[in-house]
Amino acid sequence: MKWPSRWPPFAPFSLRSARSPPDRRTPVQTATEASTSAIVVGGKSYMPDAKGNLVPIEAIKPADKLEDETVRKILGHAVDLSAQVTRFKEHTFDDLSAFEALLAQEYGASKGGAKGNKTFMTFDGLKKVTVQVADLIAFGSQLQIAKGLIDECLTEWSAESRVEIRAIISRAFNVEKQGQINRTEILMLLRLDIDDERWQRAMEAIRAAMRVIGSKTYVRCYERNDQSEDFRAVTIDLAKA
């Protein structure tokens, strides 16, 4: 099979210059288009408050108007950037799928590891893209049985003993604000080696409670300056940028 000398799916893609098709993006006002939420009624300007009441602009404090404009400006950029990131993700999956299609045609097999995890790397080994598939886990009613057995263990243990384990248990069963159990800490309990028959039954209950309800695919990009360095993540997450 002859591989293409040029690779159309990997055509340069710029986040700054990208434009989505009209039918794939809901039009939004930019920061310059929506600097205020002013509404003109009977020749007089108003701004709606949080309860939907129209307040005359002259009755609004300058600081409140400035805060309104600042937030709208930031959101104007954020909404546009979010749409660009979405398009970047779509381009990434399209390009990787096209590459894998050629591999499958050439070798009769697809690239991939356990659960579909994959790594793609440049020829010089300085840049790579990883695709990871993570299971989405929920817990059934057996988790409450496990909690009861663990509580029995805690009751017998002295307050001074196994402080680290108590901390993990407290975090594991501390329901978060969203009403979700701390899955990471729950799974950490399974790694603890505790020789207590009730603890072992609790761990069996946790395993029985685990349900795979789906999966989510993550794409991560990495680069480094030379082969002796560790890879650095190319961050798109605003909180980590």
Q: What is the pLDDT of residues 110-120, one digit of tens each?
A: 665 556 789 99
Q: What is the pLDDT of residue 171?
A: 83
Whose CA is closest to 140, among 49, 209, 188, 232? 209
Q: Which residues of 61-87 are buried (b: 16+ CB within 10 A; e: fewer)?
A: eeeeeeebeeebeebbeeeeeebbeeb
Whose CA is closest to 32, among 69, 79, 78? 69
Percent of the chain clearing pLDDT 90 (strictly above)? 49
Whose CA is closest to 136, among 183, 90, 178? 183
Q: Once rounded to an integer, what is the mean pLDDT over residues 10-29?
A: 42
Token duo for residue 109: 């097999």
Q: What is the pLDDT of residue 236?
A: 85
Distance CA 82, CA 195 (A): 50
Task: Reply yes or no on whether the pLDDT at 200 is more than 50.
Answer: yes
Residue 146 or residue 25, greater confidence: 146
